[in-house]
């Protein structure tokens, strides 16, 4: 297929060749991601981001009111914007793969990327998905529990596990969250690393990511479970673990991308 060049951009928009992924690619990507993380640790950077954000959310939710029922959707929805937060991590892996010296500060050089406009576009898409998820979660809560407020987390949990609508809330909420997570996995796992790595349009990057997901559905869903487990472990340690699991998963995502896109 002849590459299409967009006027004034120099973007060669030919679909890339793809390899098939196997289960060993996940373990190899995680191993390579660990090596990248050890070469340029970014724990301090993530701690400086994680604690103010999550601290604010938890403090507001603990005070009760309308935000409290959205506490779990807000925390679990972090997986929907996590790939965007990992852009700087992809940049470190890219530079290290190219044989360039790396430091944690190189994560900010993603702002110098020629694809910054497309990256911003992808960010807007993911922000819209996150907002849609919160609206969906709120709608499910209203449909199952009604328009009620709670004084604190204990009151909310007591209501969820003590009322007939509580089980429906848990089932429908988690099912909807899983669908949103799979959708983001499909459109972002390859597209964001690809925008840093190649001069392609946002449309081609997303289409390639969807194609990778379609042709490697089982392995990609397995990768999604690995990401979910990593985020769960990070959150279970009072969010401290996210300073390690997030960059590890980000580096590993880069290497998974490099294994599937020729």
What is the full per-residue pLDDT of the chain (262 aa) written as tens digits?
A: 333 333 344 455 778 999 999 999 999 999 999 999 998 888 767 766 666 666 666 666 656 566 778 888 888 888 888 888 889 899 999 999 999 988 888 888 998 999 999 999 999 999 999 999 999 999 999 999 888 777 767 777 888 888 888 889 999 999 999 999 999 999 999 999 999 999 899 999 999 999 999 999 999 999 999 999 998 898 888 777 888 898 999 999 999 999 999 8
The Cα–Cα gap between 72 and 1 comes to 46
Reading phi first (left if > 0) and then psi (alpha if -120 to 50, else beta), residue 199 is in beta
With H, G, I as helix, E, B as strand and everything else as coil, classify residue 237.
coil
Sign of CA dihedral 66, 72, 76, 78: positive
| pTM given for the model | 0.86
Q: Match 């981001």 to its residue by tokens.
A: 49
Instruction: Quote the DSSP letter at residue 261.
Output: B
CB 183 within 8 A of CB 79: no
C-beta pairs of 152-161 under 8 Å, 24+ apart in sequence: 152/62, 152/63, 152/64, 152/68, 153/61, 153/62, 153/68, 153/71, 155/64, 156/68, 156/69
Q: Which residues contact 117 (CB under 8 A, 6 or more apart)?
A: none
The Cα–Cα gap between 158 and 42 comes to 39
The Cα–Cα gap between 124 and 40 comes to 29
With H, G, I as helix, E, B as strand and everything else as coil, classify residue 65.
coil
């Amino acid at each position: 297929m002849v590459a299409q060049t967009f006027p004034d951009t120099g973007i060669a928009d030919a679909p890339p060749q793809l390899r098939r992924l196997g289960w060993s690619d996940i373990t190899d990507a995680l191993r390579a991601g660990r090596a990248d993380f050890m070469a340029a640790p970014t724990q301090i950077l993530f701690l400086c981001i994680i604690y103010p954000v999550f601290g604010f959310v938890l403090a507001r939710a603990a005070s009760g009111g309308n935000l409290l029922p959205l506490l779990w959707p807000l925390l679990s929805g972090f997986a929907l914007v996590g790939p965007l937060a990992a852009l700087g991590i992809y940049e470190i892996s890219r530079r290290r793969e190219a044989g360039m010296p790396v430091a944690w500060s190189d994560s900010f050089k993603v702002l110098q990327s020629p694809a910054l406009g497309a990256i911003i576009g992808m960010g807007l898409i993911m922000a819209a998905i996150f907002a849609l998820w919160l609206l969906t979660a709120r709608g499910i809560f209203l449909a199952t529990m009604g328009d009620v407020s709670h004084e604190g987390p204990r009151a909310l949990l007591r209501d969820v596990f003590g009322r007939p609508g509580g089980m429906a809330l848990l089932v429908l909420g988690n099912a909807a969250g899983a669908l949103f997570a799979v959708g983001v996995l499909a459109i972002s796992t390859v597209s964001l690393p690809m925008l840093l790595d190649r001069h392609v349009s946002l449309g081609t990057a997303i289409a390639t990511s969807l194609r990778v997901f379609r042709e490697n559905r089982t392995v990609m869903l397995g990768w999604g479970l690995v990401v979910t487990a990593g985020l769960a472990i990070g959150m279970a340690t009072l969010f401290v673990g996210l300073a390690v699991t997030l960059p590890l998963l980000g580096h590993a995502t880069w290497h998974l991308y490099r294994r599937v896109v020729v």
